[in-house]
Amino acid sequence: MKNKFKFGVVLFIALSTLFLFSKYLRIDFPKEKSSIFFNGKIITMEGDSKSPEAIFVEDGFIKSLGTKDKLFALKNDKTSLIDLQGKTLLPGFIDSHTHPALSTFLHNMVDLSGFTHQNSEQLWSHLSTEINNFEKGEWMICRGFDPILVKGLDAPHIDFLDSIAPENPILIISQSLHSFWTNSRGFELANISKDTPDPTEMSFYEKDKNGELTGFIAEQEAIKPFNEMLEESLTPKVMIQATREVFDEYARNGNTTIVSAGLTIKDKKPLQLYEHFSAEKPKLLNQFLSFIGYFPKRKPSVRHFIYVRHDRAFLLPDSPENGDDFYRFLGIKHWYDGSPYTGSMYLKEPYEVSDLTKNGLQIPEGYGGKRLVEKNDMIDFVERYQKLGWQIAVHVQGDQAIEETIYAFEEVNNNRTITNSRHRLEHCLLLSDTSIKRMKVLNMTPSIHINHLYYYGEALKNEIIGEERAEKILPIASVQNNGLKFSLHADQPMFKSDPLRLIQTAVLRKTKEGNLMGDGEQIDILDALKAMTIHAAWQIKMEDKIGSIKEGKFADFVILDKNPLETPSNELEKIQVLKTFVHGNELK
C-alpha cells in the first residue's frame, strides 16, 4: 500500500512538473499592450487628404486614428508613448519576391560581387587570398560573380580554378543565381564527369570541342547535385544563426512582410525554424528546442508567406487554408525561362552579338533562349494547382516566355474561372502592352524586378538585347495605366532587399550610370510606395489586414528619417529606416 502511495505521489509530482514546464514553454516574448504614435508625418496609403496626428494601437491592431488629444484620452498607465520627433511613419514595406532560404545559404560565402570588387584583377586576387582561410579538402563557396558589374571579367575555366584551389572543391555562384562554375575537385565530389548526361537541354554541364568539362554549369537542374552536397556540409548551428541574421536584416531595411518566391529546400526541417520565427503563437516543440539552445529565442519578426518550387510540391500543406496571418503557405512557383545574363531568357528575337554575350555570357550567335517547360505541361500545371485552390507564380523574363505563359492561364480559364486567384508573373523584363492587356482580362498581377534597369540597363541596351528592346523593359507605368496592381522586388539575394532603392529606380528609371531608360514609364513616388505596401498586400490577398494604416488592420509600421513624398527623387535611397514594427512590437 505504501509503495502504491509513493508511486502515486511521484507520478503526481512528475505530471505536475511536466504541466508547469509545458506552461512555461508556452510563454512568448513580451508584447506591447497599447501604444500611441504621435508628433510626426503619418502616410496611411488610404488616400487621405489629411494626415492623422496620431495612431492608437492596442493588442497589435490599429484601434484609432485622429488628433493627439483625442487619442491621448485613451491611454492608461501601460500605454507606450512613441514620439516620432517629426519623422515619418508609414505602413511596413512588403518584399513580395525574395529568397530567405537562398539568402541564408549564401550568407557566409566568399563575396565576389561587383558591389565589392571594381575589376577582375582585384576579384581574382581576393579569391586567391581567401583560399588560405580554408582547410585542405574544405568546400570554398563564392557568391556574386558578375561579368556585367565587374568590367573585363571573363568566365573562369576549370583549369584556372584548379590552379587557384588544387586541393579544395570550389563553387562560384553568379549574381543572377542561374550560372555556376566549379573545378575538377568539385565535379569529382558531385560524381559528375564528362560522360554525365545533361539534366535538360537548357540546364547542362558545358563541354569544349574535345568533350571535356569547362567548369561551367547552367541553370537549376544541373546544380542540384551540388546543392544537396553543400547543404549537408553546412551545420545546423551555422544555418540557424544565418537565418536569424537574414530575417533581422529584412527588418532593418523596413520590411515587415517577406514572401518566399519559390522556396528551395530539400525537406521540411527549415520550415520548423521559419514557423518558430514568424508564426503568431509559439509551438511547444519549437519552444523546447529554444529552451535547450538549439533554436534562438522567439522575438518579434517579419511575417513570412511562402510559394514552394514546382519540384518541391511535397512541402505544401494539405490545404490553402493553413497557418495564420503571420506565417502561411500561399501557393506554388514554376519557371518558364531563365535569366537574361545566361542566355536562358526566352525571346522572340535572338540576343545581340557582342563581346559580352559571346565571351562573358557565352551565348551562341542567333540564339534566343528556350522554354524550360513544354506548353502543354504548363497548362497541366496551372490546371492542377488552380483546381487545388493554390495561387500560382511563374518566373518569366522574355517576351516569348511571357506570352506562352499567359496562354497557359487563358487555356485553363476557358474551362474554369481563374480571375479570383490573382495568379502572378515574376520579374517581367520584356512585358508587352498586348501581354499587359491579356493579364488584365485574367486579373493576373506582375511583380517587377526593377533592379534590372538600375544595375544592368546599360548592358541590356548596348550588349544583350539592344536599344529598341531595352527602352521597353519593365513598363510599370503601362501596367498601372491598364489598371493592374503590381509590386516591386529586389530578388534577394540577387540584390539586397532595399525598398527605397527600388522606389527610386521606379520613379527615375535611371541606370546606375545615370542614364534615363524607358522615358514615359516613370511613376510618381506615392504609386511606387503603394507597390511596396498596399498593392503588394493585395498580391498576397492580405490587403484587408496589412499594407495601409487603417482602423482594424495590423499595426505594421516603418519609421523613416525623412518623408519620401517631400524628398527629391534622386535622394530617396538615402532615406534611413529608423524603426520597424510588426503587430505593434518593435523588431530589434
Cis (ω within 30 of 0) for the bond into 493? Answer: yes
Confidence (pLDDT) at 146: 87
Show Cβ contacts of residue 445 under 8 Å, excluding neighbours closer than 6 positions.
422, 423, 424, 425, 439, 484, 485, 486, 487, 538, 539
This prediction's pTM: 0.88
21 band by pLDDT with thresholds 50, 70 and 90: very low
Q: 195: domain CATH number?
A: 3.10.310.70
233 band by pLDDT with thresholds 50, 70 and 90: low
- Sole residue written with cell 518584399: 95
Contact 416, 354 (CB under 8 A): no
Domain presence at residue 148: yes
Domain presence at residue 210: yes
Distance CA(396)–CA(372), nearest Å, equals: 10
Domain presence at residue 270: no
Confidence (pLDDT) at 98: 97
Contact 424, 393 (CB under 8 A): yes
- Is residue 77 scored above 80 in pLDDT? yes
Cα 257 from chain centre? 11
Distance CA(242)–CA(246), nearest Å, equals: 6
Distance CA(444)–CA(442), nearest Å, equals: 5
- The helix or strand, by DSSP H or E, that contains position 394, with its residue range, turns out to be strand 391-396
By three-state DSSP, how is residue 82 classified? strand
14 band by pLDDT with thresholds 50, 70 and 90: low
- The helix or strand, by DSSP H or E, that contains position 247, with its residue range, turns out to be helix 236-252
Domain presence at residue 134: yes
Domain presence at residue 314: no
By three-state DSSP, how is residue 261 classified? strand
Rama region for 52: left / alpha / beta (φ>0; ψ in -120 to 50; rest): beta
Domain presence at residue 213: yes
Q: What amino acid occupies position 538?
A: W
Give the DSSP per-residue string, 414-439: TTS--TTS--EEEE-TT--HHHHHHH
For 335-382, write each residue's pLDDT tens digit. 999 999 889 999 999 999 998 888 877 889 999 999 999 999 999 999
Q: b/e map of 516-525 (b: 16 or more CB within 10 Å)? A: ebbeebbbeb
Least confident interval from 62-76, 146-160, 230-244: 230-244
Domain tally for the chain?
1
Q: Which domain holds residue 121?
A: 117-233
Confidence (pLDDT) at 318: 95
Contact 413, 421 (CB under 8 A): no
For 549-576, write each residue's pLDDT tens digit. 999 999 999 999 999 999 999 999 999 9
Contact 472, 490 (CB under 8 A): no
Domain presence at residue 192: yes
Calculate Rg over the CA atoms of the chain: 25
Domain presence at residue 514: no
